[in-house]
Structure 1
Amino acid sequence: MIHVERGGSGPLLVLLHGLGATAEVWRGVTPHWPGSWLAVDLPGHGRSTPLERYSFGSFAAAVAAVVPPGPVAVLGHSLGGAVALALASGWFAVEVAAVAGVGVKLRWSADELARARAVAGRPAKVFPTPDEAAGWAARLAGVPLAHGVAETPGGWRAALDPAAFGVGAPDVAGLLAASRAPVLLATGETDPLCPPGDLLAATPGGMVLAGVGHNAHVEQPESIRPVLERLVTEWDASRHPVGC
């Protein structure tokens, strides 16, 4: 089961959060989108059920199952940005008119991947109180969450399934090549996970968002407006191609 939040009317924007977060992180952004929006808790996060195995394809397939027919724009953060690019490939039968990823980590060391696999293999930490679990969930996500904990028979834990850390590094170059939609990659000026230098080396047309870090959409939701404006422009171009 995938938890979905919806709002607005008009052109649809699908919103995909990063590792450990939930749909709620987009609440400061949605008022700036001139249409309807659909935000999900990715599998193994928040109020959505876990997967038996995590991959960018399995995440994308789960999201595709709740996206209605018709053209959509997709905006993802970090992990969600890689999932957004996977959806734009067309492999999951979602008609993506424009796609953007913010803060997608582009460089992974062997040590970083090994640490992520180690976390994925451990059981979830269980705490005696929901407040303690919420603090741990916020640490995992990098932002505070209202829906980041789950109750278990032995206490409380972060809602994030630790196995999701095993998703690995995305093949961003391959996903960019496979995309059937215009792509924008962006990052915060001070994002330590996706430094501007990494972004601009991978995609010279990338966008650097001034004054924000990795969680730009939470730190300063207004900073995401240039990304939304680009998505609107690309949406309009896809609906009204030159010469038609």
Structure 2
Amino acid sequence: MSGSIVIGAAGFIGRAIVAHLLRQDHRVVAAVRPGTDRRLTTWLDAHDIDRRGLTVVSCDVTAPDLGLPERLDHSDIRDVYNCAARFAFGLEHQDAYAVNVTGALHALEWAGRLRDLRRVVHISGYRVTADSAAEKHSDSGAYESTKVESDQLLRQRAEAKNIPLTIANPSSVVGTGQYIGLAKVIEDLWRGKLPAIPGGNDTFVPVVDLDYFVGFLIALPKLPDTAGHSYTVLDQRTPMLPSLIRLVADHLGVRAPRAMIPAGVLARLPRAVTGADPETLTFLTEDRYDTTAAEDIARRAGLTMPPVEDVLRRWVEHLVASRFGAVDADPSAGFLDGAWVGGDRRTPKYVLAHGLPLDSEEWAGVRGSLDGTSMVIDLPGLGRSAPDSIDDGLARALRSVETRPVLVGHSLGCAPVLRYAAAHPDRVSGIVLVAPAFLQERTRIPLRSPLTTIALRRVSARRLAQLLAVPESEGVASAAANLRRPGVAARAVGAHRTAGAASTRRELRELLDRVATPVHLVVGADDPLTVASAHPTTVIESAGHFAPLTHPDQIAAALTENTKSRSRA
């Protein structure tokens, strides 16, 4: 096996390089900051990467010898990938300089002492190639100015010492784990905090796909004529920023701002008004970049950029699923015809619809204990789904399902489940109604009077857990975060009002009496039925209205047993 070392291997790009090399049966030394080794190995395990060729070591690029252990065997290391960088806005200059300049030079010097060195691949940034950045880097923020300075110094040092160096200058690399830069604009858009599009019609903030960029980096050492050169890597098909934001807004099901604010105007406004670090405004330019050389390398390496629109859509779904980096994202979660769904979209054994004021994350504890795969959905207009008819939204989400699943609804979610089963008995094998509010006292329906629209929009995860009498959990935190999105709290209150109407309760009771699909009811002992039902009913001791959160194992057991009972029958 040929050997490589990846410096900064626990980072967004570094770990992707490690994974790519391991898949190619390379021996890889992953050099990480002390204390970040587990972050790397956990990520590799989550992506099913075989780690037998991996050695993880601590590294400090601010040290002349990189702080690497003396016992490290580097006799077969031929390629050095330096991904170590301080990439953030608002950095102190000395902090950025220590890594982006001094650290980069240390990595180059260390690599130059390797016996069989083939290549040093250093990652910089696309803005270092722009005339505006090179001329004004002393006035730029710490990140951009240090990147420009290190680019110049590295090339000079490599030439003086005859070290084979290649510099890759990517634009915003987007993919799983990227939460900086453009991600903040998308987060503001998602949360309704982007009043206007920054820049103008020709503002160009290019992106490049993570997998494509990593493939490009891995190809460089294999091509001898790339030594001594720099390559600007970005997708020239990236829409201008206003069009990019509208594309993203359309996919998210939110409204894009119509107004635009030029970067020069933004720069003169107080940060308290714009909410933006001044350093980010330097990226709002109409500059264009020559990528001819990089495109030639890509052709020789057999690399093809995926459609940029698809790249952006996948990335923004990851951002939403991870709550913009707050939690680990469910890789199966995303938008399906406007509805937010997760899990098995084709052959689920169970399809789960949530109650108010929650979203599909309420089922997280239940799903892991089920006896088959499941699909979950945020009901339209609630959670992360776009506004729509709740019944129509569920029907569209189920179009991709090829099996006859058991439909499970909790509280409000019982209504669309019941209506769908009545309209499409051939598409489902049974339904389970957990805490069917239309068979209980109205006070049992969630969203009691203290939870007005205004209060819901401001509710914290802790306060929401207190109001629902459940433990704090990711399910509650997800619901609280989504309730702060524009319109979600109002739609939740409206759905609660509709669900509590006498006409709705009567309609659902009558539908339950005549539905042909097998029905099973599940209620908590502390949240009993007040309307008698002839359908089989499971009572969970000590449980209230939110049993999927408080008693997930018992809910899963009730669903599993119900399925087995019907199979035996």
TM range (shorter): 0.7 to 0.9
1:83-232 correspondence runs (5 A): 83-89=416-422, 91=423, 95-105=427-437, 106-108=439-441, 126-127=457-458, 132-135=459-462, 137-138=464-465, 143=470, 144=472, 145-148=476-479, 149-150=481-482, 159-160=488-489, 161=491, 162-169=493-500, 170=505, 171-191=507-527, 195-196=528-529, 198=530, 201-203=532-534, 205-224=536-555, 225-232=557-564
Partner SS state of residue 146, structure 1: helix
Higher helix share: 2
Aligned to 1:55: none
Q: Provide, for residues 142-167 of structure 1, a one-character-per-residue CA deviation record: whole Å limited to 9, x for no partner.
A: 65523222497xxx679432322232
CA distance in 1, matches of 2:483, 2:407: 32
Q: CA deviation at 1:31?
A: 1.9
Aligned to 1:72: 405
User: 5+ unaligned residues in a row in structure 1: which ranges?
Assistant: 52-57
Partner SS state of residue 202, structure 1: coil
Aligned to 2:368: 31
CA distance in 2, matches of 1:30, 1:112: 25
Is the 2:520–2:537 Cα contact (8 Å) retained in structure 1?
A: yes
Partner SS state of residue 168, structure 1: helix
Q: Give the aligned length.
A: 215
CA distance in 1, matches of 2:463, 2:488: 10
Q: CA deviation at 1:19?
A: 1.3
Counterpart pick for 1:21 among 354, 358, 370 = 358
Aligned to 1:43: 380
Q: CA deviation at 1:28?
A: 1.1
CA distance in 2, matches of 1:166, 1:103: 17
Is the 1:6–1:39 Cα contact (8 Å) retained in structure 2?
A: yes
Is the 1:2–1:41 Cα contact (8 Å) retained in structure 2?
A: yes
Deviates more, 1:136-145 or 1:225-234: 136-145
CA distance in 2, matches of 1:159, 1:222: 29
Letter in 1 for 2:518: P
Partner SS state of residue 342, structure 2: strand
Is the 1:99–1:231 Cα contact (8 Å) retained in structure 2?
A: no
Is the 1:42–1:63 Cα contact (8 Å) retained in structure 2?
A: yes
Partner SS state of residue 34, structure 1: coil
User: 5+ unaligned residues in a row in structure 2: which ranges?
Assistant: 1-337
Q: CA deviation at 1:9?
A: 9.0
Q: CA deviation at 1:6?
A: 0.3
1:84–1:217 Cα change, 3 Å: same
Q: Provide, for residues 35-87 of structure 1, a one-character-per-residue CA deviation record: whole Å limited to 9, x for no partner.
A: 21000111122111223xxxxxx422211111113311111111112322112
Is the 1:42–1:48 Cα contact (8 Å) retained in structure 2?
A: yes
Runs of 4+ in 1 over 3 A off after TM superposition: 7-11, 122-127, 132-144, 156-160
Is the 1:41–1:48 Cα contact (8 Å) retained in structure 2?
A: yes
Partner SS state of residue 87, structure 1: helix
Deviates more, 1:166-175 or 1:206-215: 166-175
Letter in 1 for 2:414: G
RMSD in angstroms over aligned alpha carbons?
Answer: 3.5
Partner SS state of residue 28, structure 1: helix
Q: CA deviation at 1:226?
A: 2.2
CA distance in 2, matches of 1:168, 1:86: 13
Deviates more, 1:100-109 or 1:133-142: 133-142
Letter in 2 for 1:4: V
How does the TM-score come out when normalised to structure 1? 0.72
Letter in 2 for 1:181: T
Partner SS state of residue 187, structure 1: strand
Q: CA deviation at 1:183?
A: 0.3
Partner SS state of residue 43, structure 1: coil
Q: CA deviation at 1:112?
A: 9.2
CA distance in 2, matches of 1:15, 1:21: 13
CA distance in 1, matches of 2:565, 2:523: 19
CA distance in 2, matches of 1:71, 1:204: 21
Q: CA deviation at 1:230?
A: 0.6
Q: CA deviation at 1:134?
A: 3.8
Is the 1:116–1:165 Cα contact (8 Å) retained in structure 2?
A: no
Identity of aligned residues (%): 26
Is the 1:10–1:34 Cα contact (8 Å) retained in structure 2?
A: no
